Chain A
Amino acid sequence: MSIESAPLPTTEGTPAARRSVLVPLRALTMLLLRNQATRGRLVALAALGAVGVLVGAIVTDNSTLDATVAGTRFVNLYGLSLLTPVVALVFGAGALGDLVDDRSLVYLWLPPVPRWVIALAAWIATLIVCSPFTVGVSVLMAAATGGGAELIVGTLWASLLGLVAYSGLFTALGLRFRRALVWGFAYLLIWENFVAQAGDGAARLSILSYLRSVLSAYTGAGLELADRDLTLSFVVPMVVGLLGVAYTARRLHTTDVD
């Protein structure tokens, strides 16, 4: 088609931006999912999960503890403290952070799409891409330990809540900092696994303590700093996730776009 003969788009029949946000939400989610799921990331995180399942089976086989207690401790140590936050960090930080780094955010930022739709799409995409590597693998790990149905259900809820919280948090982090992975690992290592272990006050500000509380409540196995109220343990991670989305939307309003 030549330039001379091709009709340009006209305003008739093409205004619309007032249509349902579901259409751009779906399109953005699909785009971000595709962007996040690079082969390198998928392979590395699948390997991390496979190691967890394998080690879970070996460790509990050789343990002198009750299978549920041993399984609970292993899920807490590997699934909740390592796998869930690390996977959420790798994908969440890249959801919008990758677009900032390669300067393609402009294609999402300029059209008249509400900022919260972009933030929500990034969160949903992170939830979807992370689910198999966090919830799926953690449940497999729990099953491999032979800890029983309580452990599997507790693991399911705890890893799901962890995914919700960490995805929101790290999506926001990816937009806020250029070196989001470094900041995220610093948070996980220094705060969640060091400062928060120091006492109850600091543990209240640790997502991990709420996840442990959920797991512990289902299995009955005691875990350190896992004595939060069960309702609160469900609510706090969800609030953290939503606050992350809200902050991301706010940040999109004020950020400079290349």
Chain B
Amino acid sequence: MSAQAPPPPPPPPPPAPSLVAADTVVHVDRVSKWFSGVVAVSEVSFAVSPGVTAVLGPNGAGKSTLLRLLCGLTAPSQGTVRIFGADPRIDATARGRIGLVPQQETMFDTHTPVAFVRLAAVLHGVAGPEATARRCLGIVELDPDDSRRIATYSKGMRQRVKVAASLVHDPAILVLDEPLTGLDPRQRRHMIDLFHRLGDEGRCVLVSSHVLDEVERFGSRVLVLAKGRLAATGDFRAIRDLMDDRPHRIQIVTDQPAVLAGALLGAGSVSGVRLISDDTVHIETTDVTRLRTLVATAAVDCGVHLREFAPLDDDLDSVFRYLVGGR
């Protein structure tokens, strides 16, 4: 009997293709969250890489709950949340890499802005908390020497103090829950520039909003939440096109609604007409821009006097209802 070499071990199977990109910072996998039987977030999965990502959804869509889950402030009822591969709920180091601007206005109102931001720096173990606090207040264009208490600050100024506090430890992930609330147009522009700059520098910036036009300026990546579900994800322009392609309802108030409706039906681009009253007609169309031109032309041609031209369903709720239709 001769000695026989053991058969060579089979080659290891090739690694399964990963669904998570190499630069993924935040990974959410089939996450649900419910409170006392009310589902706030349902089966949401996505991955986020460095750069600015907007979380868009109407009020009550689950945006804030989702952001709280990302920060570990609450545990998912199902699924997993990972920040740099760690669970933020239990891993303090991972949590320490997050800068959060919470939605609530509450702050420590007896503090001055610099004291509030300095406290954040101290709690994050930043060396030189005073200098850091002053620098961060400068970034959001607030005076570090202002000795007034936060209680005396306007909503917009409080938002900026919160943003400054979120920056003290140079976070790799910034989670901003409706950060533009209360800001004037100039400050909005500055904040959006700042968020872009932070994203361009390699940070992962997650910004929530329920204002469509605001999100458009945040960047091209967007997560659309509706009724706790991820309704759409990807490039904002594609989602915007999808929104624009849906049927729109327009209310026109005029002295001769029947005459105008007849003229519009004959001109095309109108998929439905409904006479509501003696002076009001509702028009359904997929091309609002063309309809505007048609209405103006028809009004001149027919001698019709126009009093109102108003979209009936341009609010976010109806947009989201359309996006999640059939789900």
Name A's B-contacting residues (CB within 8 A).
Answer: 1-3, 6-11, 13-19, 23-24, 27-28, 31, 34-35, 102-104, 106-114, 256-258
Contacts and interface: CB of A to CB of B under 8 A. Distances in A.
B125 A6 contact: no
Interface of B: 68, 71-75, 92-93, 95-96, 98, 100, 102, 104, 106-108, 110, 119-120, 122-128, 132, 135-136, 138-141, 165, 167-170, 190, 193-194, 197-198, 201
B195 to A, nearest CB: 10
Given A2-B141, A17-B96, A111 B104 contact: no
A35 B108 contact: yes
Nearest to B170: A9
A9 B136 contact: yes
A35 B98 CA distance: 25
B143 to A, nearest CB: 9
A3 B196 CA distance: 11
Main secondary structure of the interface of A (DSSP, over half): loop
B135 A17 contact: no
Nearest to B90: A253
A108 B136 contact: no
A102 B108 CA distance: 10
B128 A13 contact: yes
Contacts of A257: 68, 73-74
Given A27-B119, A104-B108, A110-B95, A6 B193 contact: no
B194 to A, nearest CB: 5
B100 A106 contact: yes
A24 B72 CA distance: 21
Most buried by A among B124, B127, B194: B124
Which of A102, A111, A112, A256 counts the most B-chain CB atoms under 10 A from its CB?
A111
Contacts of A28: 123
16 contacts: A3-B190, A9-B136, A14-B127, A14-B132, A19-B125, A27-B122, A104-B107, A106-B73, A107-B165, A108-B123, A109-B73, A110-B71, A111-B96, A113-B123, A256-B74, A257-B73
A161 B104 CA distance: 39
Given A1-B141, A14-B126, A9 B167 contact: yes
A3 B126 contact: no
B123 A6 contact: no
A19 B73 CA distance: 24
B170 A14 contact: yes
A9 B99 CA distance: 12
Contacts of B169: 9, 14, 111
A110 B170 contact: no
Contacts of B168: 9
A106 B72 CA distance: 11
A8 B201 contact: yes
Nearest to B93: A112
B128 A15 contact: no
Contact of B100 (A8, A35, A110, A114): A110
Contact of B139 (A6, A107, A256, A258): A6
